[in-house]
């Protein structure tokens, strides 16, 4: 499984070749060596596979949907409980739109909680369809196991990050990551949207409890320890999961205190406080990064080429891939209004360096795939 997962990661980091700059910046950033070592044999296999992929298959790999998009629903559009996969919808998502990832949100923010056997049934069904698709590339399944395997019944639950930080104990942070990874992976899920590395410096912010507190040094060291616990190294095995650092960067410091709203962060403050926790975790081999839903100094996170490409990918040499937060390509048009259409928002985010779009709902994900094909063509 670890080879398949690394295969998909590196494919995602490789296939997005549409990187036209839309901003001018004060200086160029020298590209660093990769943040984790890439296996030459796997790289060769990936190169051979990419050469055979169609444009539709490449674009599908950048698309992430929710489990809800492929579950059975009644005539009123409500999900049928107990949850069951609608194989017609799953077949369409994988074989027509070639989607690359599924996340575990369904029926509201809490999503379904299954036992291990039910999870294995769901994951195996998804992966069977992926294995028999034209590309044969496995789907990456992601989950928000932010303080234990919260979507698996009878799992071990831990304090939220703010409680963990109060211990000042790095060994506990690593242990929490190890146990969470073990129990999440036992459910068949290889990717965890955690840890939160936003600094807790705005008490009004509704997600303050998810942070490791206000101190940059503590957040940096605790975050790196959690990543080490989750991944057990940059090549994850059957007992570990890929970490996802979030929300890069400045998400936790909105001026109003409201979630997903603008932040004003001076350059020096960004360099000294907000960036170091992410940089430390990247150096520890973190495999994925989720982008800030808000905006910093007037530039939406998903449009900020300087932070995503120049700093994260070039200066730090981040070798994994970046994923958007919930519908944020769409939000560039509908909320931030920096783009005249959803289509233009997709172009802006891809050009800024975002590798995967969380387009959770149906039919939005279908529109995304079609629009990105049009943009590339």
SS3 call for 51: helix
Which residues are 71's β-sheet partners? 85
Rounded CA separation 216/155 (Å): 31
Q: Which of 144, 325, 328, 355 is catalytic?
A: 325
Distance of CA 215 to the CA centre of its chain: 24
Give catalytic status of residue 237 as yes or no: no
Element (H, E) at 300: strand 299-300
Q: What angle do CA 50, 29, 36 make, to 5 degrees?
A: 50
Residue 101: name the closest of 278, 323, 268, 260 by CA: 323
SS3 call for 275: helix
In 129-263, the DSSP E strands lie at 140-143, 191-192, 242-248
| Helices assigned H by DSSP within the chain | 2-15, 40-52, 55-60, 87-91, 116-131, 161-165, 170-185, 216-231, 267-269, 275-283, 305, 328-334, 342-352, 364-376
SS3 call for 308: helix
| Other beta carbons less than 10 A from residue 304's beta carbon | 28
Contact (CB, 8 A) for 343 and 374: yes
| Other beta carbons less than 10 A from residue 330's beta carbon | 22
Residue 311: name the closest of 265, 345, 267 by CA: 267
Contact (CB, 8 A) for 196 and 190: no
Q: Which residues are marked as active site?
A: 325
């Amino acid at each position: 499984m670890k080879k398949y997962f690394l295969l998909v990661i590196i494919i995602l980091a490789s296939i997005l070749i549409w990187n036209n700059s839309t901003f001018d910046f004060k200086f160029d950033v020298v590209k660093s060596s990769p943040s984790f070592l890439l296996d030459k044999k796997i790289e060769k296999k990936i190169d051979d596979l990419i050469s055979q992929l169609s444009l539709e298959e490449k674009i599908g790999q950048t698309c992430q949907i929710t489990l809800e998009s492929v579950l059975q629903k009644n005539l009123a559009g409500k999900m049928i409980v107990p949850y069951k996969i609608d194989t017609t919808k799953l077949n369409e998502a994988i074989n027509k739109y070639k989607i690359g990832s599924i996340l575990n949100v369904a029926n509201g923010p809490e999503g379904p909680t299954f036992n291990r056997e039910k999870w294995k049934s769901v994951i195996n069904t998804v992966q069977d369809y992926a294995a028999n698709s034209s590309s044969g590339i496995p789907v990456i399944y992601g989950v928000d196991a932010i303080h234990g395997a919260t979507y698996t019944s009878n799992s071990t639950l831990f304090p939220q990050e703010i409680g963990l930080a109060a211990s000042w104990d790095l060994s506990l942070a690593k242990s929490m990551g190890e146990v969470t990874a073990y129990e999440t992976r036992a459910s068949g899920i290889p990717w965890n949207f955690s840890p939160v590395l936003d600094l807790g410096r705005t008490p009004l912010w509704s997600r303050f409890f998810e942070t490791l507190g206000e101190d940059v040094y503590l957040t940096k060291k605790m975050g790196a320890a959690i990543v080490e616990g989750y991944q057990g190294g940059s090549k994850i095995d059957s007992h570990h999961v890929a970490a996802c650092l979030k929300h890069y960067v400045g998400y936790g410091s909105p001026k109003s205190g409201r979630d997903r709203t603008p932040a004003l962060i001076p350059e020096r403050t960004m360099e000294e406080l907000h960036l170091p926790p992410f940089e430390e975790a990247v150096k520890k081999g973190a495999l994925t990064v989720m982008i800030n839903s808000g905006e910093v100094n007037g530039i939406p996170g998903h449009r900020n080429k300087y932070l995503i490409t120049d700093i994260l990918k070039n200066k730090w040499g981040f070798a994994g891939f970046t994923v958007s937060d919930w519908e944020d390509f769409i939000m560039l048009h509908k909320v931030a209004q920096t783009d005249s259409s959803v289509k233009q928002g997709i172009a802006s985010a891809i050009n800024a360096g975002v590798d995967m779009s969380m387009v959770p709902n149906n039919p939005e994900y279908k529109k995304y795939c079609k629009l990105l094909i049009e943009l590339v063509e």
